[in-house]
Amino acid sequence: MLRTAVRWLLLLGSSRATDTLLREALQQLGEDGTARLLTPIQRFPADDGSDLAFYNALAEWTPLDDRLDAQARIRHIEAALGRDRSRDDEVAIDIDLLARFSHGQWRAHAHALDKHEFARALVRGLLQQAGVDIAYRTPPPTTDADQAGSDVQ
């Protein structure tokens, strides 16, 4: 049986003065498959009350190997590009798994739901700009192995 390639919807962000790290992250993701922007890279004020501003964009990532641990690869790329999780005054690069494409639709990733990513105006605006609809309900059990945690329909 032919396996369908795993596709991930990602939110990229950086509080650096330029969008260079977003572009580098996208390039590194592409080294493991195909990565493309779904929205232009845009600058937004932080939505957490801080004085930071972020470059953000939505991207789609399709790893060549569907057994790849997506979350581990993302953490590796973030670390390689200078992400320091102990700092709250700067975010060099942040790559969040928002959803996985499965059964003909984007299904929200459980961690994105836990973080209330889809309640954020920024995320809703980028999803609308990209023309992406997200399914939020829990899907029935399948034989597909979940990658990097569970996805939620």
pLDDT at 112 over 70: yes
Domain with 107 in it: 7-135
Task: Say how many residues make up the chain.
Answer: 153
Flag whether 33 is in a domain: yes
What CATH number should be reported for the domain holding residue 75? 3.30.70.560
Flag whether 37 is in a domain: yes
pLDDT digits (tens, 9 = 90+) for 114-153: 999 999 999 999 999 999 999 986 554 544 444 444 444 4
Token duo for residue 20: 């260079």
Contacts of 68 (CB under 8 A, 6+ apart): 6, 32, 147
Q: How far is residue 28's CA from residue 10's CA, in Å, rounded to a whole number?
A: 14
pLDDT at 90 over 60: yes
